[in-house]
Chains A and B, each alone.
Chain A
Amino acid sequence: MNFLANLGRVVLALLTEIGSIVLFIKDALVQGLTPTIYVRQIFDQILKVGYNSLPVVGLTAFFTGGALALQIYLGGSRFNAESLVSTIVALGITRELGPVLAGLMVAGRVGASIAAELGTMRVTEQIDALTTLATNPFKYLVGPRILAGVITLPILVGIADIIGIMGGYIVGTRSLGFNSYAYIKSTSDFLQVGDVVSGLIKAAVFGFIITLMGCYHGFNSKGGAQGVGRATTNAVVSAAILILAANFVLTSLLFSE
């Protein structure tokens, strides 16, 4: 009986959490993304979410592109497929690794920062203060962050695609002996617009997930410093898991025959 009671409690807690996330999404969309629009807040968040994440996303993409080129070359040499390095690097980066790695890195950097900031605002009554100043916290805090995530993640991933392919190119031409012209030609011949666009669509969804989880956990944090710490951890972990799950679903939808 104890086992069943515990199982019931876990299921109820899970359903309650899902319910409150769905209600939060409704409020974020209905209240946060409808007028009044705080343009200054949106620009501030675009800078914080997008511009400030460029170094970490760029470095991740560069080294991943380089490592991918090495792995494909070494693995491909077992069945004489070394020539596929440029094509597979380009496809791997644009379709999968670019959006997923950028999403995970931004979840760690931005999701945590949003949860910590809003969590602190919650426990120090700053969010209540916003309400008493006739300012809807969903419009002022949540809406601009979600918009910034959806707008900037595709841009970040576009840049990560270029840097990642460049990482593969540098490793390919400098240490694996590929001809520079042939490498670029092979990349451009086989890479299609759909490959890049699919990655950018994924990025927009990941941007929504990261900022939503940051806002949700920050907004609902309680219990002082410990609560803010818990909100930060939960924001990063839930965003990372949802990114990987959404990536699987989106890949199935975007590339189904």
Chain B
Amino acid sequence: MDETAYITLKDVRKAFGPKKVLNGINLTVPKGRSLVVIGGSGTGKSVMIKTILGIVRPDSGSIAIGGEEVTRLKGKDRDAFLQRFGMLFQGAALFDSLPVWENVAFGLIQGRNMPRKQARDIAMEKLRQVGLGPEVGVLYPAELSGGMQKRVGLARAIAADPEIIFFDEPTTGLDPIMADVINNLIVDSVKRLGATTISITHDMASARKIADRIAMIHKGEIIWQGPARAVDTSGNPYVDQFIHGRAEGPIQMEILKA
């Protein structure tokens, strides 16, 4: 597989008022690879993904996709850029006012002007791929369980066969079995599409299952990155503490000092 960088973040910084959230992020993801970013709550994981998508504008630094700088994209260029992405949100972020199939087909109908009938057929096929039957397509999001909502969110993320997919805490709030089902669906979907992915999570079982590479973010900086299999032998005390879920260690000590 081509190991040249496809998604590249260089010295990306973002502050909200006096609070520095991203403190010089440097990260690369090769095409077709799956990077999982681990880290505690409030370390800047979600903001990092939102800066790549342009939902949050970075204060400085460079973000390039396939060699193209994307931080200053506007108008139609930005729409075309976003059509290359799919995203699964932490809470699924399904549109309450639309039935499930229309949630899945939303990007096809509104973003790509696809006829509703054709988009509906694609939505039903994507729902089938995540293990949901056509009877679910006509329900509203409020009528679904958390696990089903996540699956619909996944179907929406892959509906337009994107080349890049982001997963924000894909297994948070799910029981271990449903979490594993979602992990398997992510791995299957990504393999089928050959997509480049970035996932953020603090679920190590999920990280081990879906990652080619793992990076750890702490206080808005990437403090370690390497192959997924190397995470247990990283030699980094922050990573060791995080993956073993220990209360004692450098992260806790810094919290106590603050």
Contact = CB atoms under 8 A, between A and B. Distances in A.
Contacts of A132: 53, 55, 82, 85-87
Given A132-B85, A134-B83, A126 B110 contact: no
What range describes how many residues of A lie at the interface?
10 to 19
B79 A125 contact: no
Interface string A134-166: 111000100000000000000000000000000
Nearest to B95: A126
A188 interface: no
Interface residues of B, number: 24
A129 B89 contact: yes
A128 interface: yes
A128 B79 contact: no
A134 B95 contact: no
A133 B90 contact: no
Given A132-B87, A134-B111, A140-B110, A125 B82 contact: no
A52 interface: no
Interface string B46-59: 00001001110000
Given A134-B79, A134-B82, A129 B93 contact: yes
Contacts of B86: 132
Interface string B107-128: 1001110000000000000000
A119 B54 CA distance: 20
B73 to A, nearest CB: 12
Given A133-B111, A134-B83, A135-B111, A128 B106 contact: no
B91 interface: yes
Interface of B: 50, 53-55, 79-80, 82-83, 85-87, 89-91, 93-96, 106-107, 110-112, 156
Interface of A: 38, 120-121, 124-126, 128-129, 131-136, 140
13 contacts: A38-B110, A125-B89, A128-B55, A128-B93, A129-B89, A131-B55, A132-B87, A133-B82, A133-B110, A134-B79, A134-B112, A135-B110, A140-B110
Given A124-B93, A134-B79, A134-B110, 11 more contacts: A126-B93, A126-B94, A129-B93, A131-B82, A132-B53, A133-B107, A133-B110, A133-B111, A134-B80, A134-B83, A135-B110
The 10 closest A-B pairs by CB, nearest first: A134-B111, A133-B107, A129-B93, A125-B93, A134-B82, A132-B87, A135-B110, A134-B79, A134-B83, A125-B89
